[in-house]
């Protein structure tokens, strides 16, 4: 059984869908930014990922972006993005603006719509991943 990840050297862990083209491109962009060394990027579609060992719901993890901080607090959707942006030097101001209630509500509406259509978007080598079944079950 897989052990839980050691968060001691990271501020946050980002759980992202590696089969999603858009999601993967965004994560690759973040990885190049100053401050990314404080983030553990975890592909939830990797064969060695186990949501239960991470203390996460194995179905909900595929429905929205998840971020976990050092203390084990889990952030979802827009709150997860805000947590990411606070770690990346050039996006700290974006995090501040996104936290402003009217802006945050607008972002939450947009993210809610994106999360609903994401499983319908083309996937990377989906037939090779055990997570395709989970994703296709969500469409029903």
Intervals of the chain under pLDDT 50: 1-3, 134-140
Q: Coil, strand, or helix at residue 100?
A: coil
Burial of 105 (0-12, 13-18, 19+ CB in 10 A): exposed
Residue 123 neighbours by CB under 8 Å, 6+ apart? 19, 20, 21, 132, 135
User: CA 69, CA 130: separation in Å to the nearest integer?
Assistant: 27
> Residue 1: what pLDDT?
35
Residue 16 is classified by DSSP as E
Task: Give pLDDT, residue 64.
Answer: 93
Q: Is 49 exposed, middle or buried (0-12, 13-18, 19+ CB in 10 A)?
A: buried
What pLDDT does residue 123 have?
73
Q: What is the pLDDT of residue 130?
A: 56
**What is the reported pTM?**
0.84
Matching residue, tokens 């100053």: 34
């Amino acid at each position: 059984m897989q052990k839980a990840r050691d968060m001691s050297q990271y501020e946050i862990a980002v759980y992202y869908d590696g089969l999603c083209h858009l999601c993967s491109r965004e994560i690759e962009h973040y990885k190049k930014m100053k401050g990314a060394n404080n983030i553990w990027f975890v592909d939830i579609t990797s064969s060695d990922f186990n949501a239960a060992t991470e203390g996460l719901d194995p179905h909900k993890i595929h429905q929205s972006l998840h971020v976990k901080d050092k203390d084990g607090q889990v952030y979802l959707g827009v709150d997860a993005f805000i947590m990411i942006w606070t770690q990346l030097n050039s996006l700290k101001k974006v995090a501040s603006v996104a936290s402003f209630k009217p802006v945050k509500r607008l972002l939450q509406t947009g993210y809610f719509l994106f999360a609903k259509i994401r499983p319908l978007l083309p996937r990377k080598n989906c037939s090779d991943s055990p997570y395709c079944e989970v994703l296709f079950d969500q469409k029903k």
